[in-house]
Structures are given as C-alpha cells and as structure tokens.
Structure 1
C-alpha cells in the first residue's frame, strides 16, 4: 500500500499530549496523503504541552476513542506526554484498540511515554522497544527489552512495533511509519 492509501489512527487523552509527538505524525502523514483520524477520550479540544510543562497548540479531535475500531485502520500511533499517556494507559477503549491492532497483525507506533499503553495492554512481552528512559523499568517488568536508541522496529509476535524515545527522534519515527505503510 502507499502512504496516500493508508488510514492512520492517532489516539490521545484530551490534555497533556507532547505537542510535536502529536503534530508531526499527524501533519506529516496527512501531507503524504494518508487519511489520519485523531481520536480522543472526548470531543473536547486536545490541549498539547511542550516538555510536559509549557502550553502548546490546541487541536480538535475527529472522533472519540470509543467510536473507532481497529478494523477500519492500517496503523495506530500513540503520542507521548506524561499526563496524556498516564490517562490513556488506563482507558479501556485505548487498551482494547491497541490489543485489536496487535491481534490483527497491524503496526503500532509509540513515541516517548506512548509505550506505557502497551504495557497496560499486555503487548510488550518479547518485544524490543526504545521509549523514553523514564519507563524503561515498566517495559522490562512487563517482559519487554528496553534499548536506548533513536528508533526500534520490532516484528516479533506477529505485528510491527515502532518506538522512539523523544521529540528529537521524530524524523526517524515518522520515517519508519511511512516506510511501514509503503511496505
């Protein structure tokens, strides 16, 4: 498939999302022609932050997480932001979506704290990941292998997992998403 034919789902809480970890994949994939849906906990505006601290851009979600299904998409993106993912990782709709993507053999891309969702969804066992260092122990305790690298692409257990550590890794992260959609 080509990126222009892909349907991508990005899931977030309505606040606390690391701005560039949401806006770069969202805008870069749209610019490449992908059909990108931003799904949030509610239809309220999504308030982003810079470095978990400074006010960022506000975006309008396209849908509620509870109203989307993995079957309708080709790839799932989970942006970081400590407060964002701290809420997303306990959201039953988010957990179910992640599990459905993995069980359907569809790729998941998670940056920074985004991999926390995969811990709660019981999806990291046997996988190698490169999230932010702050959740390394969570990854290891859940049976995954943490590495401190700009990008890790892991195809174990029948589905592709793309992970990166931080906003500085976004070029590699978005590039790997595009490469995966082109494969």
Structure 2
C-alpha cells in the first residue's frame, strides 16, 4: 500500500458557498487515488456548492461535523475557496483553531482561491510565500505574507508545508501538489 493510500486528509467547509470544483476535484481525485478523505462542515446538512460564486452547483453530503474533527487524526488540511464559504469559515473559531493545530503539528495545509483567508485570520501567513485569488492579495500582504501570482506555490518555511493555488483553472497543479505531498 502506498503512502497516499494510507493518508488521511481533512477538507473543511461551510455548508454553502463553496466553489464547486475547488471542493469536488480534491475530494474525488484523492479518494480515487486511495486516500482517506473526510469532508467536515458545521452541520450534516448538504454542502451547497456554487459555480463562480453565483450559480447553483452540486450538493455534497459531509462526513463529519467540524466541531468533532481533530488535527491529530489527519495528515493534511485542505481549504477550498468560494467567497461566501471562506468569509464565514475564517471567523469560525473551530476552523481557525484547526488550521493553527495543523501548523503547530508541522502538518501540511493546502488552500485554493479564497481559502488562504482562513490562514490570514488564523495568523499563519506571516513570513510565508503564497498565492490565492487576486482579490485577497492585499489581505495576505497586510498579514505579513508574501503574495505571488503563480499557478501553485509550495512554501516549506517555518517547518510546515503550505500549498496554495489561485483559482479553479489551477486545480490540476493544486491536486498534484497535494497528492505528491501525501504520497511522500
């Protein structure tokens, strides 16, 4: 059995407003590759995704409650984007503490599009070089992070890996970086 097939990944979201492919691609691609992936949300209501922040997307059933998951049970944290999703997630105490626990335990975190907003609020971007959608570049820089406009960026500073990407068009590189990290 490969390291990827033994990996446990945690995806955290709000129950609505997630950019569809930024959730479904990592979730399904990692599961197809054999990884154990848990989707956690504030409630067991279906997670309502959107396309381009405005058109109704697919609905996905969460596996766990956000309040019940623990960083110690997972090898990586994944934060999909979606403006409304992360705008709420970044002020959710449990989401903030989970991100902080992953970084403290030196476990990798992957965030795409608006996903790094959670890391800004968790105080984890200072001294890190990362990318995101252009709309939150100033937030990253104001929090002490270094913003770069790249398809995918991997920063191993501060003894923990941060994988970031800008948008759905970057999902191939984003998922490849996640799979490579989990497969090590």
- With structure 2 as the length reference, what TM-score do the two structures score? 0.99
Are residue 56 (structure 1) and residue 80 (structure 2) matched? no
**Residue of structure 1 in register with 2:101 after alignment:** 100
Measured after TM superposition, the shift of residue 42 of structure 1 is: 1.1
**Residue of structure 2 in register with 1:84 after alignment:** 85
Number of aligned pairs? 183
**Residue of structure 1 in register with 2:134 after alignment:** 133
Query: Which ranges in structure 1 are unaligned for 5 or more consecutive residues?
Result: none
Q: Distance in 2 between matches of 1:125 and 1:49?
A: 30
Q: Distance in 2 between matches of 1:154 and 1:55?
A: 34
For residues 65-92 of structure 1, the C-alpha deviation after alignment (integer angstroms, 9 at most, x for no partner) is 1000000000000000000000000000
Measured after TM superposition, the shift of residue 41 of structure 1 is: 1.2
Partner SS for 2:124: coil
Partner SS for 1:113: coil
* CA RMSD between the two structures: 0.6
Q: Distance in 1 between matches of 2:132 and 2:3?
A: 27
Q: Distance in 1 between matches of 2:124 and 2:79?
A: 14
Are residue 37 (structure 1) and residue 38 (structure 2) matched? yes
**Residue of structure 1 in register with 2:5 after alignment:** 4
Measured after TM superposition, the shift of residue 28 of structure 1 is: 0.1
Query: Which ranges in structure 2 are unaligned for 5 or more consecutive residues?
Result: none
**Residue of structure 2 in register with 1:112 after alignment:** 113
Measured after TM superposition, the shift of residue 182 of structure 1 is: 1.4
- With structure 1 as the length reference, what TM-score do the two structures score? 0.99
Partner SS for 1:38: strand
